[in-house]
Homo-oligomer: A and B are copies of this chain.
Amino acid sequence: MKHSPLVQGLIDAFTCLPGVGPRSAQRMAYHLLERNREGGRHLAAALGQAMDGVRQCERCRNFAEGGLCPVCADSRRDQGQVCVVSSPADVIAIEQSGEYRGRYFVLLGQLSPIDGMGPRQIGLDQLEEQVQAGSINEIILATGTTIEGEATAHYILEMVAGTAVTVSRIAQGVPMGGELEFVDGATLAHAFRGRRPV
């Protein structure tokens, strides 16, 4: 005996979620069918609306439902200060830190020629236009420390060379409140090289 077709279809569909294999997918399907059909219908509606209604901000490529995302639409934010990140999830992480008052530019990827990700695919032509138009004073690179993140940062540095835009990079090192023993070796080495007098 197998699951009935609609149940099997639902289990298969759940495996598109990150970290969800066949067993958790089956648990999710049975949970909703047995205990919470209203929740399941609500999730179906929310998914449909978000997949079709969430677009990209015209200025920064972040998630947006109108033309501009909430940050670009906020006149109290410094619109001349631009933090470049890889993904909308990075924006949320930085916003939750409460520190930053500029705006963002969201690449939705990293430079990775072998994966077909060139400068245009991650919107760098659009960022260059904004640099040329003189609307950016400062770029803060937060593209991460992977090989692709480093390549992306390097590309932007070259793009901005010769303009009045200042470029900085967020500091890398040991996480605040983290136990040293749980920090990986590369991060520790980087933290030592970047040591500062106190």
Chain A residues engaging chain B, CB cutoff 8 angstroms: 1-7, 9-10, 12-14, 16-19, 24, 26-34, 36-37, 39-54, 63-65, 69-71, 74, 87-89, 91-92, 95, 108
Contact = CB atoms under 8 A, between A and B. Distances in A.
Nearest to A3: B92
Name the 4 nearest CB pairs between A and B, nearest first. Answer: A16-B39, A13-B46, A44-B47, A10-B50
A79 to B, nearest CB: 14
Contact of A4 (B34, B37, B64, B95): B64
Nearest to A95: B1
A17 to B, nearest CB: 5
B43 A47 contact: yes
Contacts of A63: 3-4, 7, 33
A4 B65 contact: yes
B33 A40 contact: no
B39 A48 contact: no
Contacts of A42: 13, 16
B50 A9 contact: yes
A178 to B, nearest CB: 18
Given A4-B69, A6-B54, A17-B32, 15 more contacts: A1-B91, A6-B49, A9-B49, A10-B49, A13-B42, A13-B43, A16-B36, A26-B89, A30-B88, A34-B89, A37-B51, A40-B47, A40-B50, A41-B51, A44-B47
Contacts of A52: 41
Contacts of A7: 50, 54, 63
Given A27-B18, A30-B88, A48-B41, A2 B70 contact: yes
Contacts of A4: 54, 63-65, 69-70
Contacts of A40: 16, 47, 50-51
A49 B46 CA distance: 15
Given A36-B16, A41-B51, A70-B4, A46 B88 contact: no
